Structure 1
Amino acid sequence: MKKLLHRYFHSRFYEILTATFQPLLPLVLLGTYAQALLVAAFSRNGFFTEVFGIKSWLPGYALIRQGLSMLTAYTLGLLGLLTAIFAARAVARRNPTLAMLVAGVGFLVLNTTRLAMLGPGLGLGGLLMGLVFGLLVGWLLNLARPRLTASLIIIFAVAIRLGLNALAVGEISPSFTGIPHGGVGVLLAVIANSVLAWFGLTPLIDPLSPLLTGPTATANLTAVLAHKTVPYLTTIGTLYRPFALFGGVGGTLGLIIAILLADRRRTQRQLAKWSLVPGLVNLNLPLLVGYPLLLNPLMLIPFTLAPLAATALAWVALHLHLMTAAVYHVPATTPGPMLAWLATNGNWPALIVAVIGLAASVAIYWPFVKMLEEVAPDV
């Protein structure tokens, strides 16, 4: 295993990923902190907004909110585009400046709607698409005369965009719907969520989306308020969302703790410290691009197993009647295990189960962190 990992971390592919994402990390940190403040303290459903009533007493609340929105939009909202640009530069051996220009313009063209508006594929939903497009542009410019190839790439991008506009396709970033509930369906959704996020695609279940919505959540809450048995125990809202998304998709709050406890590399410890604050409100983009988690074959294992273990622990506790079901709506930005505690109306066994699930996540990430410490360079 260590030999394979050593080959991976010294491969051309890993070199390209590092050259693509490392320059973006300061921008990612800035944007993630702005987004954390925006969604947790300056949005209507933010945890700190509701707990402290910030809007009612903070001067300039609306202006600060507007500034945070702009920071988030012009950092994280352009991350797919910037990924394409830096990936092209990393691959191009002949005229990297031209490669960056062509990748940027081409990706903008592909993500422009027929109303001349920029599509959401330029942001987080376009990470994988941006990476693939940048790699393709850089590779093509290495093959033939750069100026002619650059012109052809832009022409083809315009032609593809016109074709998509004619078909009324607004964006090229993939989206996913139809989240299953019940038993195996929940476990499959947990796996799918981690895999999609690992690829840099939009996950099925966004940690920042409303916690308990839909007919099953409504039926559960109605039953509890009427002092009846909860009809739907095994759902995304009762298992995965309150117990397995601490720190974001992959339960990466456990990874942050494991890094701080076990990783002696200075750069990675610093990254974990910077990631802790947004991780408490379930944002993990700095870890995805900086640790790195994205497209790292080793880290896909704990990135999937950690939320699976936390979900399974919650399932066992719920079906053994050791705790009550999470049926109450609370802000999605509620820090860590408090999410489960508040969603169960202050049920202490639920809090204990959530803490055990977090500890299990740390234990699962721990050996992988130690393995990376031995074989991965500290960049």
Structure 2
Amino acid sequence: MSISVWDYLPEYEKEKDDLLDAVEKVFSSGRLVLGESVEGFEEEFARYHGTAHCTGVDNGTNALELALEALGVGPGDEVITVSNTAAPTVVAIDGTGATPVFVDVREEDFLIDPDLVEAAVTPRTKVILPVHLYGQCADMAPLEAIAARHGLKIVEDCAQAHGARQQGRLAGTRGAAAAFSFYPTKVLGAYGDGGAVLTDDEETDRDLRRLRYYGMEETYHVVRTPGHNSRLDEVQAEILRRKLTRLDAYIEGRRAVARRYEEGLGDLTATGGLQLPVTNEGNTHVYYVYVVRHPKRDQILEALKAYGIHLNISYPWPVHRQSGFAHLGYGEGSLPVTEKLAREIFSLPMYPSLPETVQEKTVSALREVLAAL
């Protein structure tokens, strides 16, 4: 038996009838683009979060890029964010013509360090873009205070944090806009690509709707540029509508998997050098991925292959050290915590339908490998 960090097939077998019914509903509706399913999902996703508006788009990267553009971000502007993230966070900033400005993360929780943000603000700064990483919200209160002092907007990257909470407030409800991805691995995942932007501002939502549809306000009439072809697909929207009703159950399933890891591996924090995820006070973690840490990470991953266990690293290359972003000028050592984490972190299998037998085998194998180091 080969074990990987994610597998959708157990969930699909359980939900197959509902998912295929969603496809049939769209195919028989007579409307395949921007129809009833997209409208319904937008209303329901906004209602789940208690926000006024939701605009469905084709993927999470474009959700971020369009959110930034709708807030007026463009060439000459700067956006403060982190390098300890998936590259799409930064690709979206780059897509607007703005410059990403990186600050380091906190070693204990891997999230943006608010104490470093204010020093990164310049007259060109327009947005602070925190990433709610791995299923846990960044520390928002100090970021909100900094944004207020400097007249900045906050755009939340919620691609990994559907349903996560901080002090009871859902991820995506604190900034001027929030971007979500519905890539299949996500806490709320489609069966293909998808994304959405939440906002409470009516004009921002209106502009998002123009931006996703070539900049048009009426068919064939462009009213703003740049425009995009960035529409959420009807089939994916209908699937997401069905799955949204099960989101809280998915989250509880992930939290149950996390509890079993804590029970099976918790003692190794002191004896085996393995660091498990930390949940900050006031946060509800949804465990998009279950990221652990060990200084001998590469040896561990290689040894686990003998057990048929093939794990991921999220992420092995900090964005600022990737060749595609070399022009930003961040040399080795410029973000020391981020760079250290990239050498030590790895992800254990995590999805709500993860069989307990698979998890038990993973825990047992990891314990054996650590004992042999």
Give the TM-score range, shorter chain. Answer: under 0.3
TM-score when normalising by structure 1: 0.25
Determine which structure has greater relative contact order: mean sequence separation of CA pairs < 8 Å that are 6+ residues apart, divided by chain length: 2
Query: Larger % of strand: which?
Result: 2
Q: Look at both structures and tell me which one has the larger radius of gyration over its CA atoms.
A: 1
Q: Which structure has the highest helix share of the two? A: 1
Q: State the TM-score, normalizing by the size of structure 2.
A: 0.26
